[in-house]
A = this chain, B = another copy of it.
Amino acid sequence: MTDHPPATTPDRRPGGRTARIRAQVLDAVRAELTEGGHEGLTMEGVATRAGVHRATVYRRWRDVGGLLVDVIDAAGEMDWQPPDTGSLRGDLTALNQEIQDSLVVQPSFAVALMAASFHSEQAARAQKKLWADRYAQCEVLVHRAVERGELPSRHTDAHSLLTAATAPVYHQLVLLRADPDPQLPERSAAAAVLAAAAGAFSDLREERA
């Protein structure tokens, strides 16, 4: 845990051999998953594409479930920041646009990951944690809106508001498989803000307290 590890331990410092191999393997997992889906993901295919010994891949990731979990964990380690546009409606629109883009791109890594999570309990757990972390990170959008006076009270349940704003984008594209609607990110954001302003997401637990 120092900033400057001695040059004699290259395998352990960030960016050293261990980290390089992980980056190569996870890049390969993303590519294989995006191109061939969960069914096409094999330890051998990943090792070959990554240019890493099969034995190394088996030792460090054990099985396909292990690869899925690590690629999801790696997404959680990304330095992602929620949008900050100056208004709640703007922030939620930008967030929805980012979500829509990730689902509409062909082929979509995000969709491949969701599909995989239906078939791997390990991947499902990792993805559940990633979703929870991302939604928790986004709660700041609601807190900022309350501070700016855009929402009626401090009792807005941030998670409910965020779910209401973003769920229609996922629902239309992932489950209903509708054609992408360029207006949906903005309209869904606007609807959630109107509902919030009307008190739809008041936090009943806090009000009772």
On A, residues with C-beta under 8 Å from B are: 37-39, 111, 114-115, 118-119, 124, 127-128, 131-132, 135, 160, 163-164, 166-168, 170-172, 174-177, 183, 187-188, 190-192, 194-195, 197-201, 204
Contacts and interface: CB of A to CB of B under 8 A. Distances in A.
**How many subunits of this chain does the assembly comprise?**
2
A39 to B, nearest CB: 7
A191 to B, nearest CB: 4
Nearest to A200: B191
Contact of A195 (B124, B163, B172, B195): B195
Nearest to A181: B160
Contact of A166 (B170, B171, B174, B200): B171
Given A128-B177, A131-B177, 18 more contacts: A37-B118, A38-B119, A39-B119, A114-B118, A115-B115, A115-B119, A127-B177, A131-B175, A131-B176, A135-B176, A163-B168, A164-B168, A167-B170, A167-B172, A174-B175, A191-B192, A194-B200, A197-B198
